[in-house]
Each structure stands twice: as structure tokens, then as C-alpha cells.
Structure 1
Amino acid sequence: MTSQPIPADRAKISLCRTEEIAEGSVVKVEHGDLVLAVYNVDGEFFVTDDLCTHGPGSLSEGELYGHIIECNFHGGQFDIRDGAVAGPPCMDPVKTYPVSIEDGRIFIEL
């Protein structure tokens, strides 16, 4: 699991429980102004912004292929581990968040 301790001076937000994200799937989670996509790849959790950087597509409605999410709008692809563009027409990376797991809950650092 990708779970690094989050420094005390950073804001930590609880998103959901690990069992709410089935293995090999992605779920949209909203927290305040944040709209996020939470991924489970072989029991390892990742979080990105949900909005595609190319258009109005929702990444949580896309297809997940290993560590690659394909946007449902134009088919652009991103690596969910670091947000890097993995396929056109996207040109800008998607924002990712550091993830930690505590007591079965998924947290991100802001």
C-alpha cells in the first residue's frame, strides 16, 4: 500500500474507507471544493483531481488499465501514480495527492 506518514504541519483530509473502493476501480469523492478520483490498484490507493485537464471529462467515469486512467470524454490518458500524461490528446498532467491509510481510512495531504 502507498501509505507514507503525513507531516503534522500539512492538512490531512479523510476521504473514505478502503473497502469502499473495490480493487481495480475508481470512485469519485467530493470534499468541500475538491472533486477527486480515488483509485485502488492491487490494494494500493491513489488520488487525483477528477476533472481531466483536456476537457470536461470526469476521470472517475473513465476506464482504469493498471495505473493508467483513460478519460471518458476524449480518451486522453494519465498515469495515476504521478499524474503524467500517458496518451493524447491531453498535454497537461493531472494533479495527484499524497495518500496515507489509517485505521482503514484513506487520507490525502494538502
Structure 2
Amino acid sequence: MMPWINACATDDIDEEDLIRFDHGAQTFAIYHSPEGDFYATAGLCSHENVHLCDGLVMGHLIECPKHNGQFDYRNGEAMRAPVCVNLKTFPVKVEDGRVFIEVA
């Protein structure tokens, strides 16, 4: 079983926004959906390794700040060119006002 990592407080992320979270050698993006749910993906765009934390969140989409490719952060699906490789996603749980991600 993989460890759950305490990534941030639920209050650290506004709805329809994201934050960057670094753990070891990995960078993650943690999202707060319009419905109040939390999601986690790889923090770098699969197209050119740009940090997604500088991108724009619209509904359930994250738009890469470099070439405007889009992903659905709920499942990592690449939604708009030039991105064509899905983002890796990570399980998330919320306990006592904290967001935890399961890191492989």
C-alpha cells in the first residue's frame, strides 16, 4: 500500500483553482473543483514539462500556460491540442480539513 501524503489544507485552494505541491523529486497539481471536490495530477504538462500551476482552471479543465493545451483534471484526459498524452492522476482523500494524495 502506498503512503498518503499530507499535501495542503482545503482552505489553501480556492474553488476552480489549483496549487503546486512538490514531494521528493515529483511535482503535483492539486485542484479544487466547482463542486468542492479535490483532485491531483502530475504537476507538469505532458507536452513540454511546463508547470501547470501557472495555468488557468475553467470548470474541470486545466489549460497549460505555454501552448494552451487542455486536460480534464478529474481523469487526466488530454482534451485540446497540442497535448495528446494524458496526465497521470493520483487518488485524493480529505480528512480534518487537509488534502492527502496517494503517491506511487
Moved more, 62-71 or 26-35: 26-35
- Displacement after TM superposition at 1:38 (Å): 0.8
What corresponds to 2:26 in structure 1?
34
What corresponds to 2:81 in structure 1?
88
2:69 matches 1:76: yes
Please identify runs of 4+ aligned residues in structure 1 that moved more than 4 A: none
The gaps in structure 1 that reach 5 residues or longer are: 1-8
The gaps in structure 2 that reach 5 residues or longer are: none
Identity of counterpart residues, as a percentage?
40
| Alignment RMSD (CA, Å) | 1.0
CA distance in 1, matches of 2:95, 2:26: 21
Q: Give CA-to-partner distance per residue, 1:17-37, whole Å, 9 cap, x none.
A: 100111111111111112111
- TM normalised by structure 2 equals 0.93
CA distance in 1, matches of 2:31, 2:57: 8
- Displacement after TM superposition at 1:56 (Å): 3.1
- Counterpart pick for 1:63 among 56, 66, 82: 56
